[in-house]
Chains A and B, each alone.
Chain A
């Protein structure tokens, strides 16, 4: 027989009351644990995704929106910017790395990002299989994309216009998967990466593939009746041994069109083998007029921290551009999230306090019916301190059971919620982590029951056995 067993047995005398106390403690603890896990992981994920990105160039508008869209791919971008304007800053000696982004299409909810090869350096991503893209319409997919959309090297898919579901599908020009990235735990896992040219090919504004037959300006593709479609276009090009490099591209002043065999280029003739963004070093030549091309954003990394003091202000003076520092915007977003989390956390603490008060009420209320038990224990040889300890133990037990269940429930709920969020929102959260602060929280919450039992325990300590037993 131990005091622990006696405490358990005493709690069993009022099973419903004990169960309610445990339930309150469980709910409060689970809520706090869930909020802690979610808040911490969201914060870590946001910081990790923004690591290595000092500044984002984009269209004028909300800097938070720019960062959310360009760094976290969680919002629509505020607009496009001229590539030439962005490149002026990218070539600034204070910049160590510049990664252009061109957004607009998606596949099964995963964003297709026209970019350069350096984007893998930003997120520390490595190929798990395949190779980087070298030509237009070749794509490297993130690990989550590959798993969710069952894509592998050699797979083909057609992007849909827009960043959500329901957009026009570019069936005429499918992408071909040439590489799959290893999981990184960052946002790149959920991206489909390709060259800027690929995106430009599909979204060149007044994009006409053939002056007679094919026009998909604003992505309202209207195909002519002369049997020209993009599938045919690609196939026919291949069949003919069509290679852009073999063309005598003559670039005109007009926005480029690349209507298959009828590329006409003007005097700014260039081939995309020279483009940073094209990622191409092979026979891929293209016909984009870079001076008129637009991108969605550009991710910049400073060569020196000193750049942070001057560059954003200078960029913002440009009428076409906005500079947003992810570190600043992330902290702003986290602050906004934090306000919501604080409210929820306050509610959770109210539950904990309620649980503590409930434990107090239950133990204090039981004192009257247990006065004789306590007096009898003294007669049998129990000391005052042992009575005090036994009452504290009962409160502590209620806490330990409730808190243990609450921690388990909080972590399981986080895992379940994380699974749902990952599939629905692309936010990877897990319940199978233990935060350092949880240890302190665990011990603190254990103490709640003991603290709630202090007054009943002191009353037990003061039990006068002779007087109590004489009351018969």
Chain B
């Protein structure tokens, strides 16, 4: 699903609400049948880590860790055991083989984005949320990233939610939700 809307309409806030990073002023958010308002503190953090894979526009990879370390950290925070073989397979699938020991500063933007996607998938979450994954990319690369997200989410049997103001994403995902700025 694509969540599309102009800047300032609340797309990122919407994503943060779904991820449990913000609490709604009213109403209820259910994710995988779980009412997020029932979860507090560490329980909510663990639920988020285990069930949601987040991809950020600026990737936010850990600068101190190499590619493999970033993936292992995400698995650890999700309390998920991942074998080295699993990591190798994931890296191969995302074209990262040979880059496992590279620090983020040594990666191109495209490579860093694929690492960010791999990090969101490493613990096999049921939901993947991507925040503005294409805003800094040209048309070809934007298309490639969306295709990559769709492919990897499908392969992981995960739901994909892309939050963007990028109109180029329209029609690339199975469904769309358009947010409008309040009048």
Contact = CB atoms under 8 A, between A and B. Distances in A.
Interface of A: 1-2, 5-6, 9-10, 12-13, 372-373, 375-385, 465-466, 469-470, 472
Contact of A1 (B21, B46, B58, B75): B75
B176 interface: no
Contact of B73 (A1, A13, A375, A466): A1
Contacts of A383: 41-42, 45-46
Nearest to A369: B63
Contacts of A385: 42
B89 to A, nearest CB: 18
Nearest to A372: B60
17 contacts: A2-B76, A6-B65, A6-B69, A6-B73, A9-B62, A9-B65, A13-B63, A13-B64, A378-B45, A379-B60, A380-B77, A381-B45, A382-B49, A382-B77, A384-B45, A465-B21, A469-B16
Interface of B: 12-13, 16, 19, 21-22, 41-42, 45-46, 48-50, 54, 56-58, 60, 62-65, 69, 72-79, 119
Given A12-B64, A13-B64, A385-B42, 12 more contacts: A372-B60, A379-B19, A380-B119, A381-B46, A381-B49, A382-B77, A383-B45, A384-B41, A469-B60, A470-B12, A470-B13, A472-B58
Contacts of A380: 49, 54, 73-74, 77-78, 119
Contacts, number: 79
Contacts of A13: 63-64
Contacts of B48: 379, 381
B69 A466 contact: no
B32 to A, nearest CB: 15
Q: Is the interface of B mostly helix, strand, loop or mixed?
A: helix
Contacts of A382: 45, 49, 77
Contacts of A375: 60
Contacts of B50: 381
Q: Is the interface of A mostly helix, strand, loop or mixed?
A: helix
Given A6-B65, A382-B49, A383-B45, A376 B56 contact: yes
Nearest to A11: B64
- Sorted nearest first, the 3 A-B pairs with minimum C-beta distance are A381-B49, A1-B72, A9-B64
B21 A376 contact: no
A9 B69 contact: yes
Given A1-B73, A6-B65, A381-B78, A373 B16 contact: no
Contacts of B75: 1
Contact of A10 (B64, B74, B76): B64
A466 B74 CA distance: 18
Contacts of A373: 60, 62-63
B79 A381 contact: yes
A470 to B, nearest CB: 6
A220 B173 CA distance: 113
A394 B60 CA distance: 21
A175 B41 CA distance: 86
Contacts of B69: 1, 5-6, 9
A381 B78 CA distance: 6
A1 B70 CA distance: 9
Contacts of B49: 380-382
Contacts of A470: 12-13, 16
A13 B45 CA distance: 27
A372 B104 CA distance: 15
A380 B72 CA distance: 11
Given A380-B73, A382-B77, A384-B42, A6 B64 contact: yes
Contacts of B41: 383-384
B54 A379 contact: yes
Q: Which of A6, A379, A382, A385 has the most CB of B within 10 A?
A: A379
Nearest to A373: B62
A466 B16 contact: yes
B4 to A, nearest CB: 18
Given A6-B62, A384-B42, A377 B77 contact: yes
A149 B79 CA distance: 70
Contacts of B54: 379-380
A372 B76 CA distance: 19
Nearest to B44: A383
A380 B79 CA distance: 10
A301 B143 CA distance: 99
Contacts of A466: 13, 16, 21-22
A384 B41 CA distance: 8
A197 to B, nearest CB: 79
Contacts of A472: 57-58
A280 B58 CA distance: 96
